[in-house]
């Protein structure tokens, strides 16, 4: 049930939490003995984590998950016999715990699609593997892995039930967007756990939604096009990776490209997507705050902001700008958030018109858009 504004959702448990004073245990899964050693050494170099075992394939991993009960898994995506996606599916359904996917730096063109699918299935994050034990990118990979492991310690696995599915699939009724450009804009922010959350929210936005939808998911370049394509295959609205200068039209979803900030802007008198590679905000690019502030400035009361699961506080200041401009605000509740950082920060700073479990967010967005459409008549 949607909650009224004024209080956060119910509490949720941390799936990867270790007890006070003990290290978080990690199972390293990879078909390469060299990579198992490299990843295990990196994990053991972090004082708050300890490798409890290694596994050479998916079958071995499942056996060791039950025998060792690790707090966290690092899981290779591409393995023989039982691959990473199949192993992940089993773990999340039978022995759920935080999982970080590891993808080879030289993976082929299908790798981003596999990574997006893994995030939909419940993986907390993904990290590109180092190219070797003395590779130039080792320090960068090590820092990224440490960041992902720390995120795993804050995960609320009770908020991750089953793989998100659209409620009714693509709508067979024909919808023609109104002439001209979008008169209402919805801005959505997501980070850790976001691809899975977006797979629940975006496909359940109705074909008749009279708004353009702009999405910022914290994700590096090379993966957001696969995210957009995946959402498009499931959704009633057209979903695209945003391009600089394209017009904002109702009934379309624009996903910010990895590595670029996205804003709403007026170009030649027409509302358009504006992309730039300016400095990171809150350590990320794309960041939700620049998008939300631009939407508030241009669309004022004809704007809706939604903040979904994720670490940090990106989107909180932007959501406040939207509410101060008269726009609507939706915040994911604690119980259904994989990580409650961003929703909690947004709720604390900006408040919300709707505080919703994940399954109700698409409906709440639709209601707030409908309210703004009625006011404009």
Annotated catalytic sites, by residue? 191, 218, 314
318 backbone dihedrals φ, ψ, rounded to 5°:
-65, -40
Please give the Cα distance from 325 to 298 (Å, whole number).
10
CA 27 to chain centre: 24
Strands 125-128 and 185-190: unpaired
Q: Which among 323, 246, 314 is positioned nearest to 281, based on CA atoms?
A: 314
Residue 290 near residue 264 (C-beta atoms within 8 A): no
Asked whether 42 and 142 are in contact (CB, 8 A), the reply is yes
Q: What angle in degrees, to the nearest 10, is found between the helix axes of 224-234 and 111-121? A: 60
Which residue(s) pair with 252 in the sheet? 238
Return d(Cα 228, Cα 223) in angstroms, integer: 9
Q: How many CB atoms lie within 10 A of CB 241?
A: 17
Closest CA to 313 of 285, 288, 280: 288
Q: What are phi and psi of 99, to 5 degrees?
A: -130, 135
The residue whose two tokens read 């624009």 is 254
Q: What is the Cα–Cα distance from 133 to 127, expressed in whole angstroms? A: 16
The neighbour count for residue 263, using CB atoms within 10 Å, is 22
Number of H helices, E strands in the chain: 11, 14
Structure tokens at 233: 């295959």
CB 160 within 8 A of CB 338: yes
CA distance 215 to 297: 17
Contact 350, 329 (CB under 8 A): yes
């Amino acid at each position: 049930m949607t909650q009224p504004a004024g209080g956060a959702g119910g509490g949720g448990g941390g799936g990867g939490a270790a007890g006070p004073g003990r290290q978080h245990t990690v199972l390293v899964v990879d078909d390469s003995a060299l990579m198992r050693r490299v990843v295990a050494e990196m994990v053991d170099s972090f004082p708050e984590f300890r490798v409890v075992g290694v596994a050479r394939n998916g079958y071995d991993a499942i056996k060791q998950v039950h025998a060792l009960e690790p707090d966290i898994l690092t899981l290779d995506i591409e393995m023989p016999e039982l691959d990473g996606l199949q192993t992940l599916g089993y773990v999340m359904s039978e022995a759920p715990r935080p999982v970080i996917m590891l993808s080879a730096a030289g993976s082929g063109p299908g790798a981003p699609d596999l990574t997006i699918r893994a995030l939909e299935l419940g993986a907390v994050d993904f990290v590109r593997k180092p190219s070797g034990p003395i590779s130039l990118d080792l320090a960068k990979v090590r820092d990224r892995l440490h960041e992902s492991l720390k995120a795993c310690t804050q995960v609320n696995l009770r908020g991750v039930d089953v793989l998100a599915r659209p409620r009714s699939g693509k709508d067979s009724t024909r919808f023609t967007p109104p002439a001209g450009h979008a008169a209402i804009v919805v801005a959505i922010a997501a980070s850790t756990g976001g691809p899975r959350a977006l797979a629940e929210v975006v496909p359940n936005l109705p074909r008749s939604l009279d708004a353009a939808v702009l999405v910022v998911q914290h994700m590096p370049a090379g993966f957001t096009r696969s995210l957009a394509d995946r959402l498009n295959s499931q959704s009633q609205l057209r979903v695209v990776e945003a391009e600089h200068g394209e017009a904002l039209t109702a009934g379309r979803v624009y996903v910010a490209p990895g590595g670029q900030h996205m804003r709403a802007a007026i170009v030649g008198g027409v509302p358009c997507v504006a992309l730039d590679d300016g400095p990171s905000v809150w350590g990320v690019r794309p960041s939700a705050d620049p998008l939300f502030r631009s939407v508030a400035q241009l669309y004022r009361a004809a704007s809706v902001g939604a903040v979904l699961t994720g670490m940090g506080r990106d989107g909180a200041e932007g959501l406040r700008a939207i509410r101060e401009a008269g726009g609507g605000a939706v915040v994911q509740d604690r119980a259904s958030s994989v990580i409650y950082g961003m929703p909690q920060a947004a709720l604390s700073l900006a408040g919300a018109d709707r505080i919703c479990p994940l399954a109700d967010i698409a409906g709440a967005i639709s209601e707030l858009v409908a309210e703004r459409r009625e006011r404009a008549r």
